[in-house]
Amino acid sequence: MNLKSIGYTEVVGLLVVLGLAASFSWLSLQVEFPYHEADSGTQLVPAEPYKEIAPAVSRFMWETRGQDIALQSFVIFASVICCLAMLKEEVPDR
State the pLDDT confidence band at 89, using cuts at 50, 70 and 90: confident
Distance (Å, rounded) from C-alpha 7 to C-alpha 87?
19
**What pLDDT, on the 0 to 100 scale, is given for residue 76?**
92
pLDDT recorded at residue 79: 92
Instruction: Band the pLDDT of 7: cuts 50, 70, 90.
Output: confident
Q: How many CB atoms lie within 10 A of CB 67?
A: 15
pLDDT value of residue 41: 61
Using alpha carbons, list the distances in angstroms from residue 7 to 12, 70, 77, 84, 90. 9, 30, 22, 17, 16
Q: Distance between CA atoms of 62 and 65, rounded to whole angstroms?
A: 5
Pick the more confident residue, 6 or 83.
83
